[in-house]
Structure 1
Amino acid sequence: MTGTADVVSDVMTHTVLALRHGAAFKDIVKAMQRWQVSAAPVLDDDGRVVGVVSEADLLRKEQARAPF
């Protein structure tokens, strides 16, 4: 296919937003909006990746809180 990416570095974000374990929900939302990303790695106190939080994770949390 012409015009498609050949390797991951063709489509990946090079400057990365990283979140600290324990970041507040509202701070995660604000940071993701500011950086215009839909997911971000979560780091422990030693800077190691311990997970990833995505818009889908945030939406699930909000749906669980919403009354029916």
Structure 2
Amino acid sequence: MKVRSLQDHDVKELIPLMEQLGYPTNFEDLQVRLSAIQASSDYHTLIAEIVLVYTLNVRIWFRFLLM
């Protein structure tokens, strides 16, 4: 898992998560909200990237395909 600071290109990927959490939004509104949060020195938004899960799923799929 890689933890890093929020970047501009992450906003689009956060929309489904926000909806799951009960905060339906669109790209423009979320971008404005996150910009306001990032502008404050009291807050910092982190993103956790999990790449291993996708790699593991692909390997399992190929293993079944080869059997």
Asked if TM exceeds 0.5, the reply is: no
Q: Could you say which structure has the greater relative contact order, defined with CA pairs below 8 angstroms and 6 or more residues apart?
A: 2
Which structure shows the bigger proportion of residues in helix conformation? 2
Highest Rg: 1 or 2?
2
